[in-house]
Structure 1
Amino acid sequence: MNRIAQGMVLVLLGTAALTSTVFTDLYLNYVQAWFQPFLVASGAVLALLGLAVIASELRLVVRGEQGADDGGHGHGEHGGHDHATAPRVAWLLLLPVVSVFVIAPPALGAYTAENAASSAPPDESASGDFDELGDPASSAPVELKIQEFVMRAWTDDDRAMAERTIELTGFVVPHPDGPDEGWYLARLQMSCCAADAIVNRVLVTEFPGTEEPEKDSWWTVRGTWQEPAGDLQSVRDHRFTVEEMTAVENPPDPYE
């Protein structure tokens, strides 16, 4: 790999970073939204560095050719200038570019949720101080993130969600013990990037129809929390009765 090829690799890497952050929301499959300005800056720096390397090398080539025409007193390969080359393994730097432009790995989904540990109950010192869910007499559904639903189900001693119509959006994860046990509506929560994602999920045991929805499909469901009789934090899977289901397109930001 000569220096011009090295510069082209840098330009392609920078372009991939800019394409996934400026022109699309692809970066949201892997990192939090607040990473965008850093990714944009990194992509711009890589692209500019690559262009600078290419321009510099082209100037040396031109000067070298001119020096050869003048009797060999120029620079570059024709004038005694040694052009450093990178090892062949450097071509592996193109793999991230290929993965973005050709493969475009999707966001983490059901496979990750099946094989990762779900979120654990908070410790006893966790606060159960939550915002009001609106007028308890209202029949309008309360839209919650699955993360908030799970936290309320574990720590809200007032059990404000009881007998309220709750609306949740997530993707379908099959139950490991088979469809007779129901299925999970899940969402992944990440602090920084996809590598630290944890699973928040609710167990749907009653729903319209008889067939479990397709794995990894996204749904907005409306229903009610199956309030447990005992200690909230002793519950492992929070059960949910679905009264209405609507298929939705994958959200731009698949994480919570």
Structure 2
Amino acid sequence: MKRNIQVLLLLFLGVGLLHIALLTDLYLRYVRPGLRPALIASGVLLLVLGAVSAARDGFPFDRARTGRNDGHSGHGHGHGGGGPRIAWLLYVPALTLLFLAPPALGSYTASRDNTEAPKAPKAAAGDSLFPPLPGGGVVPMSLNDFSSRAVWDTGGTLKGRTVRLTGFVTPGHRGAWYVSRLAISCCAADAQVRKVRVHGATAPRPDTWVTVTGTWHPSGRTGTAGASPALDATAVRRVPEPKDPYNDVVATRTGS
């Protein structure tokens, strides 16, 4: 039985990886889009290894091949016992990939992260640290760009401008709430939190994806790590969760 578990795990994991990487966009809940080819290759490799093992040992496996007879023919004094029953729990993550894919990280992670102020960006020689926002109406922005400007932009490019931020709702202390995003460098394990506190609007349910329109709310001394990003909301609209929840890149353009 122990050998059966090993081979079936290879097959289930291979099918699960190919399912989330080829047939759905669920892999974006775990890794960056650029890692999709690696997931597909890993899924194919696991299937090949499982198929080779099954063909080599015979399937279903007999006792002689898996070593359960232990050389005492006729007495059945095998000492393996088929392996510990707890080994069956190894199927849980494999089956989860197929039938119960967990959601992307959300407010639980964001609310427990002691988010530090974003690092001050470095400008290239001759370039402005924070170029002016485009003229016109509402400016869509990423939470990362807004947070950096709110904390470090002493030139005041956010002053008097109406911006639009998209993220999920994260509850705070004493009724406060934030619009949040999680950014990843490689996978969900290295996710970094960006949160903007929202003033002047009632908080929707945690993990609800929203688009918040409003103006910069100065908080702390700009240009120091003591400043924090905040927004005075004029409108909060619920939106569907994006296909790639960790992608906070927004093409800055004017809106209405």
Band of TM-score, shorter chain: 0.7 to 0.9
User: Higher mean Cα deviation, 150-159 or 232-241?
Assistant: 232-241
Looking at structure 1, the residues matched to 18 and 220 of structure 2 have their Cα atoms a distance apart, in angstroms, of: 52
The equivalent residue for 1:16 is 16
Q: 1:110, 1:172 within 8 Å by CA — same for their partners in 2? A: yes
Looking at structure 2, the residues matched to 60 and 108 of structure 1 have their Cα atoms a distance apart, in angstroms, of: 39
Name which of 195, 198, 206 aligns with 2:192: 198
Secondary structure class of the residue paired with 1:233: coil
The equivalent residue for 1:34 is 34
What is the CA distance between 1:171 and its match in structure 2? 0.8
Q: Deviations over 1:78-97 (max 9, x none)?
A: xxx64347733543431211
The equivalent residue for 2:83 is 87
2:239 pairs with 1:248: yes
Looking at structure 1, the residues matched to 60 and 95 of structure 2 have their Cα atoms a distance apart, in angstroms, of: 30
What is the CA distance between 1:157 and its match in structure 2? 2.7
Which one has the largest radius of gyration? 1
The equivalent residue for 1:98 is 95
2:171 pairs with 1:171: no
The equivalent residue for 1:216 is 207
Q: How many residues align?
A: 229
Structure having the higher helix fraction is: 1
Structure 2 length-normalised TM: 0.79
CA shift in 2, pair 1:82/1:247, >3 Å: closer
Q: Percent identity of the aligned residues? A: 35
The equivalent residue for 2:230 is 239
What is the CA distance between 1:231 and its match in structure 2? 3.1
What is the CA distance between 1:185 and its match in structure 2? 0.7
Secondary structure class of the residue paired with 1:250: coil
The equivalent residue for 1:188 is 182
Q: Which runs of 5+ in 2 are unaligned?
A: 69-81, 248-256
CA shift in 2, pair 1:96/1:145, >3 Å: same
What is the CA distance between 1:234 and its match in structure 2? 4.2
Q: Which runs of 5+ in 1 are unaligned?
A: 62-75
Secondary structure class of the residue paired with 2:212: strand
CA shift in 2, pair 1:7/1:156, >3 Å: same
The equivalent residue for 2:105 is 108
Structure 1 length-normalised TM: 0.79
CA shift in 2, pair 1:82/1:101, >3 Å: closer
Looking at structure 2, the residues matched to 240 and 58 of structure 1 have their Cα atoms a distance apart, in angstroms, of: 64
2:148 pairs with 1:151: yes
Q: 1:110, 1:173 within 8 Å by CA — same for their partners in 2? A: yes
